[in-house]
Amino acid sequence: MVAPLADVERLRETLVELDRLRLHERAQRLETEGLLRGLRMLGEARDADDLFDIVVGVLRDLVPFDDVFLVALGGRGGFRVVRSTARRLLGIRWSPQALLQRVLAGGTVALFDTAQSPDWLALPAPAREVARSAIMVPIRSQAVSGAMVFGHAAPAFFSPAHVSLLKRFTPLIDQALETMAARERLEHERLAARLADAGRRRAEAEIRRARDLMESAVGYAPIYLWELGPDLRYTFAEGTAKVLGYLPEELLGRPAVDFFDAADPPTRAWIALMDRREPFENLVIRRRCKSGSKIWASVSGMPVFGAGGRFEGYRGITLDVTESTEAKLKLEQMALHDALTGLANRRKFLDHFAPAMARTVRIGEPLSLLAIDIDHFKRINDAYGHPAGDEVLVAVARILERTVRRTDLAARFGGEEFMVLLADTDTEGAVDVAEKLRQAVEAERFAVGGGESVGMAISVGVATAHRETPFDDLMERADQALYAAKLAGRNRVRAEDPAD
């Protein structure tokens, strides 16, 4: 029995789309990991050189640039290249200030071919020749005012996805500069003298402002940050209102596991990792929102240990991956099910047959197959048209679903041919199930359009394996029994010769 070419082509297209989605999901996961790494590393920058090196290191894996340089406003009012991966550019005066002002006023600017930009062509030769594609992102903090320029030698190299990612990352750079400046001021004041109350208040306000900038950065993406105490209750949360509907203060003090379905295997695996104080990365689990709805969440976290190795809790990040996860599940459903009836297809049937046969070999319980064919189905197509035939196929599929056990599997193998897998079922039991199916179809009236309905019948062949048997051999035996049922007059059940 060979599947129709249309079904084969549909399956191929579905598998190609599934592969594309997996690549997209992997790129999204890498981007999230880069943002998480950036959040962790930018806060550790000691000075501007250190910060520049961290930015280059974090983004190099996400945006494939050739060179990057920082153009900043100097003490005498002019813009110069103050940091660069290309040493020949250091100190060059940036003469087309109109381009920089456009970046600072309007945000990120992408030059997909710098040779077409009059402002770019006004640069000195070393800067002009460093890139044919460029993305300029604004740096607007109290410490630095200017732009970071990411360049590549090829024209039209950067994509809109690269521009979007840099837009999301830029607020983290601004926040890191603000935090670094605040830390430097605090250190200077500590060296000079103990902070007065007024000085402490100023420093605390700056720290709060830096934290507010971090919150703004989190708002660019469907992510939230969190910390748990040693009892795995929330001690900190940021960005939850946008993703979950909960204000951070609504989560504080509450157990993290209360917002997940503990019956789900991925959730149980996550809880087990935390019980063992182990890190976890990109665990996709269901998460409840305040509205009562659920999202698919990708959760990553690291355990935190204090002095003497004392466990103090977890710190991590959660990303809403509902859209990509549900699309992936839908494509997997399409790849494993018949498009017309929704029953399992041949691929899924074979996936279930292998472990069922392994169980038969292991514990000695028999396994049976039912080969089912709708009698005189061609007459329906000829008399009433293919849409009516499709309706009959769907109706028969529903009868199979509601008649067999939940542990059994019904599948459409093509045309009017169906198969049923009956685990732990001998020939007698399989014949009983087949007879129930035959009687259920015989008792049904099938709508064929125009207010008309017709009666239908099926023939069923039964084959049983008591020892390890290849699928093709067992299916052939079931087909032979089905053929015998057809020869005997149709609308009946026939079991194979018991010689097996």
Q: How far is CA 239 from CA 18, 129, 248, 311, in A?
A: 31, 42, 8, 25
User: Is residue 487 scored above 90 in pLDDT?
Assistant: yes
Does residue 429 share a domain with residue 315?
no
Higher pLDDT, 394 or 238: 394
Strand-strand pairing, 367-374 and 417-423? antiparallel
Token pair for residue 102?
């456009």
User: Is residue 400 scored above 90 in pLDDT?
Assistant: yes
The CATH number for 122's domain is: 3.30.450.40
Judge whether 19 lies within some domain. no
User: Is residue 486 scored above 60 in pLDDT?
Assistant: yes
What's the whole-number mean pLDDT along residues 277-296? 87
Does residue 309 share a domain with residue 343?
no
Does residue 343 share a domain with residue 322?
no
What pLDDT sits at residue 13? 72
Does residue 376 share a domain with residue 289?
no
What pLDDT sits at residue 230? 92
The number of folded domains in the chain is 3
Does residue 397 share a domain with residue 293?
no
Distance CA 269, CA 299 (A): 12
CB atoms within 10 A of CB 59: 21
Does residue 248 share a domain with residue 303?
yes
Does residue 350 share a domain with residue 320?
no
User: Is residue 19 scored above 50 in pLDDT?
Assistant: yes
Does residue 163 share a domain with residue 104?
yes
Residue 51's pLDDT band, with cuts at 50, 70 and 90, is: confident
Task: Indicate the residue among 277, 303, 327 that finishes a domain.
Answer: 327
Q: For a pLDDT cut of 70, what percent of the chain falls above it?
A: 80
Judge whether 211 lies within some domain. no
Judge whether 25 lies within some domain. no
Task: Indicate the residue among 138, 172, 192 that finishes a domain.
Answer: 192
Three-class SS of the chain: CCCCHHHHHHHHHHHHHHHHHHHHHHHHHHHHHHHHHHHHHHCCCCCHHHHHHHHHHHHHCCCCCCEEEEEEECCCCCEEEEEECCHHHCCCECCCHHHHHHHHHHCCEEECCHHHCHHHHCCCHHHHCCCCEEEEEEEECCCCEEEEEEEECCCCCCCHHHHHHHHHHHHHHHHHHHHHHHHHHHHHHHHHCCCCHHHHHHHHHHHHHHHHHHHHHHCCCCEEEEEECCCCEEEEEECHHHHHCCCHHHHCCCEHHHHECCCCHHHHHHHHHHHCCCCEEEEEEEEECCCCCEEEEEEEEEEEECHHHCEEEEEEEEEECHHHHHHHHHHHHHHHECCCCCCECHHHHHHHHHHHHHHHHHHCCCEEEEEEEECCHHHHHHHHCHHHHHHHHHHHHHHHHHHCCCCCEEEEEECCEEEEEEECCCHHHHHHHHHHHHHHHHHCEEEEECCEEEECCEEEEEEEECCCCCHHHHHHHHHHHHHHHHHCCCCCEEECCCCC
Does residue 315 share a domain with residue 351?
no
Query: Could you list the residue range(s) of the whole structural domain that residue 380 is in?
Result: 338-495
Does residue 319 share a domain with residue 343?
no
Judge whether 478 lies within some domain. yes
Does residue 361 share a domain with residue 485?
yes
Judge whether 343 lies within some domain. yes
Give the pLDDT confidence of 288-343 residue by residue, as tens digits.
888 888 888 888 999 999 888 899 999 988 888 888 777 777 777 777 888 889 89
Q: pTM higher than 0.85 for the full model? A: no
The CATH number for 269's domain is: 3.30.450.20
The CATH number for 370's domain is: 3.30.70.270
Judge whether 491 lies within some domain. yes
What pLDDT sits at residue 314? 93
Does residue 382 share a domain with residue 300?
no
Judge whether 281 lies within some domain. yes
Higher pLDDT, 392 or 17: 392
Handedness of CA 10, 13, 17, 19 (dihedral sign): positive
Give the pLDDT confidence of 418-470 residue by residue, as tens digits.
999 999 999 999 999 999 999 999 999 998 888 888 999 999 999 999 999 99
Higher pLDDT, 158 or 468: 468
